């Protein structure tokens, strides 16, 4: 049985007012630097052919996807690939979260998993909707390569599902703007082939 490959891509840098902020469901644009990152990302992805492309419908993802040459491949938009809802943390910076809510924003994955972010999306709901996307993609693209353009939180949840580890453990992985992570799903194991590669830093075509 052949393996299935997933190329997980985070959107590029967002506009300045939302950097270092829990944006979540805020439908923000990319920054000028983000658009530059998206072009570098598109150049790198020319070296990574894929059979299908899936994407979050949010603006920052769609703007990251815009420079990519699809070669006749129409992107499939999946609403459930949108970023997690941070509830009352939405719009707050990391220091503001500490001052207002009395917790370190660096523990956000743990806080989300324990359900201690006021009015945030529950981790059960979050996991279920991302798992639904993962099942759909893996079923449709079995034995093929699928690119998935989405969000940092969604990539961490996808890794949590694929590696069968708690979401809070995904704090061990850095997922930068416009980064690429590549996962190979073999019949008997899951292999991380590439993690948090940033073409705008590291790739010279």
* CATH superfamily assigned to domain 4-202: Phosphoglycerate mutase-like (3.40.50.1240)
Residue 32: burial class (beta carbons within 10 Å; 0-12, 13-18, 19+): exposed
Mean pLDDT value of segment 154-181: 96
Closest CA to 53 of 25, 28, 81, 14: 81
pTM: 0.95
**Quick one: what percent of the chain has pLDDT higher than 70?**
98
Task: Give the mean pLDDT of the chain.
Answer: 94
d(CA 144, CA 137): 10
pLDDT (0 to 100) of residue 2 = 86
Alpha helix locations (H) across 80-151? 94-101, 108-114, 123-140
Q: With cut-offs at 50, 70 and 90, classify the pLDDT of residue 1.
A: low
d(CA 8, CA 153): 12
pLDDT (0 to 100) of residue 204 = 65
pLDDT digits (tens, 9 = 90+) for 9-35: 999 999 999 999 999 999 999 999 999
pLDDT digits (tens, 9 = 90+) for 62-103: 999 999 987 677 899 999 999 999 999 999 999 999 999 999
Instruction: Please determine, for residue 203, whether its predicted confidence score (pLDDT) is greater than 90.
Output: no
Mean pLDDT value of segment 155-160: 98
């Amino acid at each position: 049985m052949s393996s299935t490959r997933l190329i997980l891509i985070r959107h590029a840098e967002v506009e300045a007012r939302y950097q270092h902020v829990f944006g979540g469901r805020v439908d923000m644009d990319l920054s000028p630097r983000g658009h530059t990152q998206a072009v570098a990302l598109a150049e790198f992805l020319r070296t990574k052919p894929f059979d299908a492309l899936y994407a979050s419908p949010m603006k920052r993802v769609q703007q990251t996807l815009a420079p990519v040459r699809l070669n006749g491949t129409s992107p499939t938009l999946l609403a459930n690939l949108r970023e997690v809802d941070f509830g009352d943390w939405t719009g707050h910076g990391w220091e503001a979260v500490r001052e207002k809510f009395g917790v370190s924003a660096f523990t956000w994955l743990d806080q989300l998993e324990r359900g201690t972010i006021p009015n945030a999306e529950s981790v059960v709901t979050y996991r279920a909707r991302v798992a639904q996307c993962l099942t759909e993609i893996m079923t449709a693209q079995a034995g093929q390569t699928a690119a998935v353009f989405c969000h940092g939180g969604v990539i961490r949840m996808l890794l949590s599902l694929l590696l069968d580890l708690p979401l809070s453990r995904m704090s061990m992985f850095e997922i930068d703007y416009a980064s690429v992570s590549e996962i190979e799903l073999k019949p008997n194991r899951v292999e991380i082939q590439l993690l948090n590669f940033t073409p705008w830093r590291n790739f010279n075509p």
